[in-house]
Chains A and B, each alone.
Chain A
Amino acid sequence: MIFSSVIVEDLQPAADILRKFCTKCGLVDVKAHFLNAEDALVHLTKHPADLIFLDVEMPGISGFEMMDRLGVIPQVILTTSKTEYAYNAFQYNVTDYMRKPFTYTRFLESIQKVKARKEDAEESAGIPHMFIKVDGKLIRLNTDDILYIESMGDYVRFTTQERKYVTHNTIKNIESRMDASRFMKVHRSYIVNLSQVEDLHDDELSIRGERIPVSKAHKSRIRAHINII
């Protein structure tokens, strides 16, 4: 599979070498390069890409602000000179985070993560149900029935229309297996089924009368994702 991509980078030599790496690996087709996030946003709104190589600090809005404004966020590889953005990268669930200058070997590792995430998403999207281990038994859950998923330390609780199920797993692992177009992380401890969201107010949302917290970092993303008229 060839990933269509966009480079958002204001340092021309960095963009040049990234483009070379993309051509060399044969898996990434660079459609455009932008020196700032605003121009990239205009382009991506009309021409979505599979993958964005995104610098963080640029003139105008930052890479993170750009992601906040994108309606649907494709896979993102952050490229930066700073390590301080690692936590933000985690919050935004980017595919990878590369420190400049990065070698071709490091670049290839990143592309492998892109491939793996794509394969996982395809696998999840095609499966209308999943099995989770509860009290030693494998329980089948239809993904449509899942209202939200909550982290409980080393355990995760699935709340469905009928009942709640607790299984030994991490919210991060669950998130990577869920269809990102239907299930969204709204807080470090919660993933919600977007089709079940009844209302969204400030720092919380409601699903079947239950209030689910929404963190600041995730607020803009969820607003961008739902169809506000």
Chain B
Amino acid sequence: MADVVKDYGFIFSDGFDRLFLEELYGGDTLTAEEIFTSSIPHIEESLQLAEKHMNAGATDELRKLLHKIKPIFGYLGMLQVQDAAQNFEDFCAFKDKTGDLDSAYGSFQTIVHHALMLMRIEQQRLNEHNNRRA
């Protein structure tokens, strides 16, 4: 960890897969900030769209949406959230009981909303770090 501080001056917070993010961005915190900045609104929009699909009972559209946004969590170092998205995607593919779907969706929403909170904080940290270095 000391080497990471020495080389990059930025340590990703708990809740993020640090090793994966270091491998992904290679210490390029400017790119990391750009990806965080462009990804967060994308996830927020997708959640709104997911809500619409849920209300319409459009599980296939919901599944496709999850499939699409899933990698974004990976690009932000939240591999467990990516796995949760995969699990819910699989659930949508195989389940057709509305009650079960509501419960699964509720759980997934909770996970993603918490993840979004962490992402926003991390995006701010990256921004402050990059501004200090500029």
Contact = CB atoms under 8 A, between A and B. Distances in A.
Interface of A: 10-14, 16-17, 20, 57, 81-82, 100-101, 103-105
Contact of A11 (B31, B34, B64, B72): B72
B31 to A, nearest CB: 5
Given A101-B24, A104-B24, A16 B72 contact: no
- Most chain B Cβ neighbours within 10 Å, of A11, A13, A101, A105: A13
Interface of B: 20, 23-26, 28, 31, 34-35, 38-39, 42, 64, 67-72, 74-75, 82
A101 B67 CA distance: 12
Contacts of A17: 24, 31, 35, 75
A203 B66 CA distance: 38
Contacts of B26: 104
- Most chain A Cβ neighbours within 10 Å, of B34, B39, B67, B71: B71
Given A13-B38, A16-B34, A104 B23 contact: yes
A128 to B, nearest CB: 45
Contact of B23 (A14, A82, A105): A105
Contacts of B31: 17, 20
Given A13-B35, A17-B31, 15 more contacts: A11-B42, A11-B68, A11-B69, A11-B71, A12-B38, A13-B75, A14-B71, A14-B75, A16-B35, A16-B38, A17-B24, A100-B71, A101-B24, A101-B71, A105-B23
Contacts of A16: 34-35, 38
B110 to A, nearest CB: 23
B68 A101 contact: no
B74 to A, nearest CB: 3
A16 B31 CA distance: 9
Contacts of B82: 101
Given A57-B67, A81-B67, A12 B42 contact: yes
A65 B90 CA distance: 25
A13 B26 CA distance: 17
